[in-house]
């Protein structure tokens, strides 16, 4: 990569991330307008932005997937990846991040969004992505803005560095001072800010703020520290070099101010990116791509477009890509590129070969998935990074509204999963259900909308079936005799079973103790088969577990006995015997681990007791200051929509993981209701 002083040149790829609704898509729009990629700046309210152009995003007025747009600023190409803020769509961001040069974290001066900000910064810190904050909606802020760093710093592990301070007219913010340039500007709506003299109160505040910016920089630069101690003015170039170096190495997180709706602060943001953000050479190095001739690309997102078929949005990390380039993933051949496209939201434009640093969409890489590391040719390379989706927290069963669409649903689901790997599908054979597992209500709702809007399959959703079982509390010795004499050949099978409860988790055990051949050997497997079959539906309507059935006696008929007759006899014994064995419902209990900011821990407590949860303990969350872990045991039926309440009690940031623990007896009203519901659905 060419270096210009310390400035990276060439195509850049920048993620726009940040808490829900902080203004990322609006900022993308402002950047595209300011850099001339679009003639007029659209708005979320008017539904005409380049980002969020999908039907689902427009409808919900929020980002539900990444939007990618390339623009040119002062001779360099910049591709912006506008990421959804909702935690439910976090995988869109997480999967795209490895290949970006830097992230602009769009945030607000809102205490309630600090925990979300912390989550996002944490992701960037973990992935070692250089980042700067863009404090948006400055048009709505007032004089309390002085507390910016105090409010935001706890969310960031690296030190925040205020690059600009606001200037006021009365209580209104009307401009800013750039602390590196030492220049004052007043904001102009949808136009570049105007330079004004830096004087009076603004000059005093500038001196203090600038000193503290330099002090922060000097934490990582001994020479600068000496200059500050000796009261020597460091040269401006040195300050810019430090800003660039310390951003690139993620040592500091600079903070800029602005208003996306008014296009204020956008030019300064672009200039900061131009001068200070790293470029492809740093990013390739971060990912461990060795310089050379080999072509490397990383798949940030996979799409199935209505007309263009499958598209892979990739960042080219090394080499070049053209029509016809063949790629391999670490596991298999990915396919042959059919079309290289430049993206501007949902519109794409065919273009020529793409070089290292560029972010483009590639057509028809049929076997490439989001997150894949691609190499051109035949020689696969181990994955550069892997970003596993968060474990799912919410399930919903889906079925095609029309039976004829069953096959189509299967195909549509596989496309859906390719587009969003944080959704998974589980086939519950016992309940004949296709269950979608995902990250929250909105994500699953959007998934269903996509199935119908994009893939043409209308579906109906319902709550997934809970894995109830039943067992018995006492034993019985029960005879089962199947005898039929209808004209010619009859049917005869006769068994006596000793039925007993077994300890929890034993399943079903069959044994025999036949003496004197009262039941011939060859019929015994048929008896077992009949018993096992009968246990699929116990007296309460659920599969029966933890029972032993021992064949202890019986009789046969030389002509009329058969496999079928002994199967039926086994079934009869179970069918007649179990209702007398005090059947009882078993429900699955899960071990749930909730993570939440400490101030929400008390609320979690209350929430758990309302859901038959049994608290096992609390702990501070390791490595997460100000967070707790709450361990609970909870019935599966109560976990169903738990995430909805956990999120609402934690400003959207709480989450949990769960795993099956044991089956527990359930009696009383709740059990009666479950059994009654099962009976009525079986009758329907």
* Nearest C-alpha neighbor of 29 from the set 259, 361, 358, 359: 259
Of 26, 54, 302, 526, the residue at the interface with ligand GTP (CB under 6 A) is 26
Q: How many CA atoms lie within 13 A of 324 on its CB side?
A: 2
- Map residues 602-641 to x or -, x wherever contact with ligand GTP holds by CB under 6 A: ----------------------------------------
Interacting partner of 136 out of Mg ion, ligand GTP, none (Cβ under 5 to 8 A depending on kind)? ligand GTP
Cβ closer to ligand GTP: 647 or 678?
647
Bridge partners for 400 per DSSP: 459
- Could you tell me the CA-to-CA distances from 399 to 448, 457, 464, 637, 641 in Å, in that order? 10, 10, 11, 21, 20
Cβ closer to Mg ion: 25 or 373?
25
Minimum CB separation of residue 409 from ligand GTP in Å reads: 28
Interacting partner of 44 out of ligand GTP, Mg ion, none (Cβ under 5 to 8 A depending on kind)? ligand GTP
Interacting partner of 652 out of ligand GTP, Mg ion, none (Cβ under 5 to 8 A depending on kind)? none
- If one asks whether residue 139 binds ligand GTP (CB under 6 A), the answer comes out as yes
Interacting partner of 389 out of Mg ion, ligand GTP, none (Cβ under 5 to 8 A depending on kind)? none
Minimum CB separation of residue 617 from Mg ion in Å reads: 38
- If one asks whether residue 44 binds ligand GTP (CB under 6 A), the answer comes out as yes
Q: What is the DSSP string of 324-355?
A: T-EEE-SSSEEEE---EEEEETTEEEEES-EE
Interacting partner of 140 out of ligand GTP, Mg ion, none (Cβ under 5 to 8 A depending on kind)? ligand GTP
The whole-angstrom separation of Cα 84 and Cα 344 is: 17
Backbone phi, psi, residue 2, to 5°: -70, 140
- If one asks whether residue 158 binds ligand GTP (CB under 6 A), the answer comes out as no
- Could you tell me the CA-to-CA distances from 128 to 12, 91, 241, 271, 637 in Å, in that order? 17, 17, 20, 22, 39
Asked whether the CA dihedral 194, 196, 202, 208 is positive or negative, the reply is positive
- If one asks whether residue 20 binds ligand GTP (CB under 6 A), the answer comes out as yes
The whole-angstrom separation of Cα 119 and Cα 624 is: 10
Which residues touch 191 (CB under 8 Å, ≥6 apart)? Answer: 263
Instruction: Map tokens 């738990």 to a residue.
Output: 642
Minimum CB separation of residue 141 from Mg ion in Å reads: 20
* Three-class SS state of 658: strand
- If one asks whether residue 350 binds ligand GTP (CB under 6 A), the answer comes out as no
- If one asks whether residue 21 binds ligand GTP (CB under 6 A), the answer comes out as yes
- If one asks whether residue 440 binds ligand GTP (CB under 6 A), the answer comes out as no
- Binding residues for Mg ion (CB under 5 A): 24-25, 63
Cβ closer to ligand GTP: 118 or 261?
261
Q: What is the DSSP string of 222-291?
A: HHHHHHHHTT----HHHHHHHHHHHHHTTSEEEEEE-BTTTTBSHHHHHHHHHHHS--HHHHHHHTTPPS
Of 70, 259, 302, 396, the residue at the interface with ligand GTP (CB under 6 A) is 259
Q: Mark the segment that binds ligand GTP (CB under 6 A) among 42-50, 191-199, 431-439, 570-578.
A: 42-50
Backbone phi, psi, residue 179, to 5°: -75, -25
Of 15, 22, 240, 678, the residue at the interface with ligand GTP (CB under 6 A) is 22
Beta strand pairing status for 614-620 and 7-8?
Answer: unpaired
Minimum CB separation of residue 89 from ligand GTP in Å reads: 8
Q: How many CA atoms lie within 13 A of 609 on its CB side?
A: 5
Q: Which residue is nearest to ligand GTP (CB)?
A: 85
Size of the site for ligand GTP (CB under 6 A): 24
Bridge partners for 159 per DSSP: 252
Cβ closer to ligand GTP: 87 or 217?
87
- Map residues 50-89 to x or -, x wherever contact with ligand GTP holds by CB under 6 A: ------------xx--------------------xxx---
Cβ closer to Mg ion: 25 or 264?
25
Q: Mark the segment that binds ligand GTP (CB under 6 A) among 137-145, 354-362, 427-435, 439-447.
A: 137-145
- If one asks whether residue 663 binds ligand GTP (CB under 6 A), the answer comes out as no
Cβ closer to Mg ion: 301 or 310?
301
- If one asks whether residue 110 binds ligand GTP (CB under 6 A), the answer comes out as no
- The token pair that represents 114 in the structure block: 């600090």
Length of the chain: 684
- Could you tell me the CA-to-CA distances from 59 to 20, 28, 55, 449, 627 in Å, in that order? 16, 19, 6, 10, 34
Minimum CB separation of residue 52 from ligand GTP in Å reads: 7
Minimum CB separation of residue 677 from ligand GTP in Å reads: 38
- If one asks whether residue 140 binds ligand GTP (CB under 6 A), the answer comes out as yes
Cβ atoms of 375 and 298 within 8 Å: the answer is no
- If one asks whether residue 31 binds ligand GTP (CB under 6 A), the answer comes out as no
- The token pair that represents 386 in the structure block: 């892997």
Minimum CB separation of residue 57 from ligand GTP in Å reads: 8
- If one asks whether residue 493 binds ligand GTP (CB under 6 A), the answer comes out as no
Which residue ranges make up the site for ligand GTP (CB under 6 A)? 18, 20-26, 43-45, 62-63, 84-86, 106, 136-137, 139-140, 259-261
């Amino acid at each position: 990569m060419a270096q210009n002083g310390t400035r990276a040149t060439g195509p850049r790829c920048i993620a726009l991330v940040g808490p829900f609704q902080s203004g990322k898509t609006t900022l993308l729009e402002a950047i595209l307008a300011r850099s001339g990629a679009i003639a007029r700046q659209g708005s979320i309210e008017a539904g005409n932005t380049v980002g969020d152009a999908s039907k689902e995003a427009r409808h919900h007025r929020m980002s539900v997937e990444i939007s990618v747009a390339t623009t040119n600023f002062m001779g360099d190409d910049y591709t912006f990846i506008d990421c959804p803020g909702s935690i439910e769509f976090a995988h869109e961001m997480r999967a795209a991040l490895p290949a970006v040069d830097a992230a602009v974290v769009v945030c607000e001066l809102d205490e309630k969004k600090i925990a979300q900000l912390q989550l996002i910064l944490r992701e960037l810190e973990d992935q070692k992505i250089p980042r700067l904050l863009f404090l948006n909606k400055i048009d709505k802020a007032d004089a309390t803005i002085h507390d910016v760093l105090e409010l935001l710093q706890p969310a960031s592990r690296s030190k925040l560095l205020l690059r600009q301070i606001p200037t006021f007219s009365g209580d209104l913010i009307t401009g800013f001072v750039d602390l590196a340039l030492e220049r004052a500007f007043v904001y102009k709506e949808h136009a570049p800010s105007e330079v004004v003299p830096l004087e009076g109160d603004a000059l005093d505040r500038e001196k203090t703020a600038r000193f503290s910016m330099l002090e922060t920089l000097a934490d990582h630069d001994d020479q600068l520290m000496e200059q500050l101690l000796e009261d020597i003015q460091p040269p401006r170039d040195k300050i810019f070099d430090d800003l660039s170096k310390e951003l690139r190495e993620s040592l500091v997180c600079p903070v800029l101010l602005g208003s996306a709706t008014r296009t204020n602060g956008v030019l300064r943001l672009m200039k900061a990116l131009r001068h200070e953000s790293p470029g492809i050479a740093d990013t390739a190095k971060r990912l461990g791509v060795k310089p050379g001739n080999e072509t490397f690309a990383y798949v940030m997102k996979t799409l199935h477009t209505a007309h263009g078929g499958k598209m892979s949005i990739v960042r080219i990390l090394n080499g070049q890509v053209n029509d016809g380039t063949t790629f391999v993933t670490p596991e298999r051949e990915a396919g042959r590129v059919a079309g290289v496209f430049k993206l501007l939201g949902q519109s794409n434009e065919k273009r020529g070969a793409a070089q290292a640093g560029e972010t483009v969409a590639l057509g028809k890489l049929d076997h490439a998935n989001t997150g894949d590391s691609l190499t051109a040719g035949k020689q696969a390379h181990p994955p550069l990074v892997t970003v596993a989706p968060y474990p799912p927290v919410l399930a919903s069963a889906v079925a095609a509204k029309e039976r004829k669409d069953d096959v189509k649903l299967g195909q549509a689901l596989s496309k859906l999963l390719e587009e969003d790997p944080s959704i998974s599908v589980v086939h519950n054979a016992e309940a004949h259900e296709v269950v979608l597992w995902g990250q929250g209500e909105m994500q699953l709702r959007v998934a269903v909308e996509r199935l119908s809007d994009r893939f043409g399959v209308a579906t109906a959703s319902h709550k997934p079936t809970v894995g109830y079982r039943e067992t018995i509390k006492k034993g019985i010795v029960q005879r089962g005799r199947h005898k039929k004499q209808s004209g010619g050949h009859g049917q005869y099978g006769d068994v006596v079973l000793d039925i007993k409860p077994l300890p929890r988790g034993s399943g079903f055990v069959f044994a025999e103790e036949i003496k004197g051949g009262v039941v011939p050997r060859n019929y015994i497997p048929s008896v077992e088969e009949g018993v096992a079959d009968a246990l699929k539906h116990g007296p309460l309507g659920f599969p029966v577990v933890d029972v032993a059935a021992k064949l202890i006696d019986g009789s046969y008929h030389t002509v009329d006995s058969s496999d079928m007759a002994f199967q039926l006899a086994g079934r009869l014994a179970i069918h007649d015997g179990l209702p007398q064995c005090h059947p009882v419902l078993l429900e699955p209990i899960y071990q749930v681990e909730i993570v939440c900011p400490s101030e929400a821990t008390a609320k979690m407590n209350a929430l758990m007791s309302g859901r038959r949860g049994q608290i096992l303990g609390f702990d501070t969350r390791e490595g997460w200051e100000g967070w707790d872990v709450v361990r609970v045991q909870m019935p599966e039926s109560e976990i169903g929509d738990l995430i909805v309440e956990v999120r609402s009690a934690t400003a959207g940031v709480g989450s949990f993981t769960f795993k099956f623990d044991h089956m527990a007896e359930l009696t009383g009203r709740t059990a009666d209701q479950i059994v009654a519901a099962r009976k009525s659905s079986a009758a329907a």
